[in-house]
Structure formats: C-alpha cells, structure tokens
Amino acid sequence: MILKKRKIAFLTGTRADFGKLKSLIEITRIQADFEVHVFVTGMHLLKEYGYTLIEVEKCGYEHIHSFANHTHESTMDLSLAKTIEGFSAFVKAEKPDLIVVHGDRIEAMAGAIVGALNNIRVAHIEGGEVSGTIDELIRHSVSKMSHIHFVSNGKAKVRLIQMGEIPDSIFVIGSPDVDLMLSDKLPSIEKVKSYYGVDFSNYGIAMFHPVTTEIDNMALYAETFVDSLIQFDQELVVIFPNNDLGSSFILEQYKRLEGNSSFRVFPSIRFEYFLTLLKNASFMVGNSSAGIREAPYYGIPVVNIGTRQLNRALHQDIINCGYGKDEIIEALSLAIISNFEKEDLYGQGKSDQMFLEVLQSERFWEINRQKQFIDIGQTIL
C-alpha cells in the first residue's frame, strides 16, 4: 500500500543532459510511488539555440517548470547565481524528496547547492569522470555537494571513493543515454533526414565547443576549425556549441558556412534524431563528449580536436589532433578511411531499470544526508 508519493525533481539545462536524463524520467514517471517534476532552464530557454524547452514539452510530462537563468551579461557565474535563485524558489514551493542532476554544467551545480543547503537529497548522474577545462571542476564540485551518485562505470566509482565519498552511496548503472542508443525506438534515418532537410548520402557530424580555460585563443581556434572543414570539402551536419564563454567566436565563424551546399547547420537537434544521424554518419569531428561516449557504441571514427576531452579520449575509434588546420585535415583524411569495432564502454542500455531498482529500495532513502568524508585508508574498494 502506497502511503505517500515521493516527489522527484529532475533538473535539465541543455539538450545534452536532457538526453542523459530522459530514460530515467520516463521510467520513474510511470511508477505509482513517484511524482516526477522536470525543472527546465539554461540553454533550453534560448531561442538562438533552438528553444529546446519545446522538445521537453513534447514529451507530455505532467509537471514541467521552466525558468530563464541567463542574465544580460550572460556570464557563467551570474547565470549560476540566477539559477540558484530560481531553483530555490521552485524547491520551496514543491518540496521535492529528491533532486536529480547530471554532469558538469552550472545548472547541475545550482541544483546540488540548493539541495544540500535545504537538506534535500541530491543524486548526481555521471559523476567521477575526468575531462578537462572548467567542466571537470564543476563536475567534482557537484559530486561533493551530492549525497548519492549514479555512475557510468567502475572507474568513476573509484574516483569518487578517492574523493572521500561513501562507497554505499555510489551505484554503477552505466550511462543513461545508452538506453536510447540501443533501443529499437530510434527514428529511421529517412525520417530524420526528411525532418531536418538533410539530403546527404555520405556525411560527417561536426560539434565544436568553447574551451573556457583557453578563451584567449578561442577566436583563432574557431576560425581554424571552420577553415579546415571548408578545405576538407566533405558533407557535414554542423550543430551549434554549448553557450559557455567563447561560444560567440564559434557562432561567428559558422556564418561563413551559410549558403555552402556541403553544410547543414543547426542550433540543436532532438536527441533521438541526433543518435540516428550519428549512427549513420561516416565520421565525427570536433571536441564534443558525444565523440567520446556515444560514437564508440556505433564504431564511428572520431577526430577529437584539442584539449577539451583530453583525459577521456582513450578509445580505439578516436583520432586525437591539435588545433592546427593541417593536423585537423590529416586526421579527417585518416578518419574517412578507418573502420572500428563497436565498443561497450558505459553499460548495456539498462541504466533506467537499474536506477529505478535503486530508488525503490528502502536502503536508498536511508542514505544519510549528513555527508561524511571517508579517508581512502578506511575504504574497501
């Protein structure tokens, strides 16, 4: 007999983290013992990035709350402060029993801060990973502000233990986006091409994000990146970067692709549609985590540029290169003639079921909200 529904608040700030959270939202919202709320903010509310709040609303969730967190200055610190303000008001009104955040964005940090300071359990999805730039600082900070961790693999669990987290609070469930990647519900490539007007038969995908710690060079990096794509002269689906500091340099360079029949440029693409495009692509180029996490499942060659994914880029299908035009073109030339086996790196597509099983156990709700630091010498791995 269900005495009280537990209220779960999922926080999403980008098209990318929504793709990671979606299967977890879907499986919990149909359970009689949970009431699911989705707090939508960040890039979802920006028209220049496709206003992807619409895509969340299309999912038909009963409780969707939207909040525009960007200031006129649009700097990460002020956006963080505004997100804390908006999410704090939401939490005080809805009083969730659990807050679920993902990854390494400022929205996740805001959710973890608000939860911790209001004595509400915070669950962090995909903590314990390494990448680089400001993202890694944010991800580890979110982990330290969270009470519970749902990680993608054993290595991530060990890193969290190194950070002093309690082993019993860490659950290995794989990467939730793999649930969608391996499902039979992805749209057909014909449907995706028709929907987005992509008439390419043989194409690559380009996604290039700013590196905030290299902001002084981002204008040059963006120019060189676009120079390389134009000179390489292959058909490409190009997707806008995230809105971190330096994104304006990339967007300015993308204007050079307007009117070029070899390119289709989009502010955003629905996650399921993106996965279908990726699955059928010949290669991927840029510095997106999609090239590190999703592409290996499909065996897609990836040209990984620069330092943004430096500590992650270890898989066989990844061709690393620097920011120079000649380096990028050489790596692309290698990518289009390469073939790789598919790799199972982050689970087998059952993250949602494992997540639900943990949430439905009484032990989960007994995890102490009083954080403790466990010295590594006291830990049994």
Per-residue confidence (pLDDT) for residue 173, from 0 to 100 = 96
Task: Considering the domain delimited by 189-335, tell me its CATH architecture.
Answer: 3-Layer(aba) Sandwich (3.40)
Per-residue confidence (pLDDT) for residue 244, from 0 to 100 = 87
Residues of the chain with CATH 3.40.50.2000: 6-180+348-378, 189-335
What is the secondary structure of 157-206 as a DSSP string?
HHHHHHTT--GGGEEE---THHHHHTSS-SPPHHHHHHHHT---SS-EEE
Domain 6-180+348-378 has CATH 3.60.20.10: no
Per-residue confidence (pLDDT) for residue 1, from 0 to 100 = 41
Place of tokens 């430096």: 310
Per-residue confidence (pLDDT) for residue 152, from 0 to 100 = 92
Per-residue confidence (pLDDT) for residue 373, from 0 to 100 = 92
CB atoms within 10 A of CB 77: 10
Sheet holding 121-125, edge to edge: 64-66, 34-40, 6-12, 98-102, 121-125, 148-151, 170-172
Burial 346-359 (b: 16+ CB within 10 A, else e): bbebbbbebbbeeb
Q: Which stretches of the chain drop beneath a pLDDT of 50?
A: 1-2
Q: What is the pLDDT of residues 216-247, one digit of tens each?
A: 999 999 999 999 999 999 999 999 999 888 99
Query: Is there a contact between 179 and 354 (Cβ–Cβ < 8 Å)?
Result: no
Per-residue confidence (pLDDT) for residue 73, from 0 to 100 = 62
Q: What is the pLDDT of residues 160-204, one digit of tens each?
A: 999 999 999 999 999 998 888 888 889 999 999 999 999 999 999
Tokens linked to 244: 């971190």
Per-residue confidence (pLDDT) for residue 180, from 0 to 100 = 87
pTM: 0.88
Report d(CA 86, CA 110) in Å as an integer: 9
Which residues share a beta bridge with 170?
A: 149
Report d(CA 76, CA 96) in Å as an integer: 26
Q: Where are the alpha helices (DSSP H) in the chain?
A: 15-29, 53-57, 76-94, 106-117, 133-145, 154-162, 177-181, 189-196, 218-232, 247-254, 271-279, 290-293, 295-298, 325-335, 351-359, 362-365
Per-residue confidence (pLDDT) for residue 328, from 0 to 100 = 98
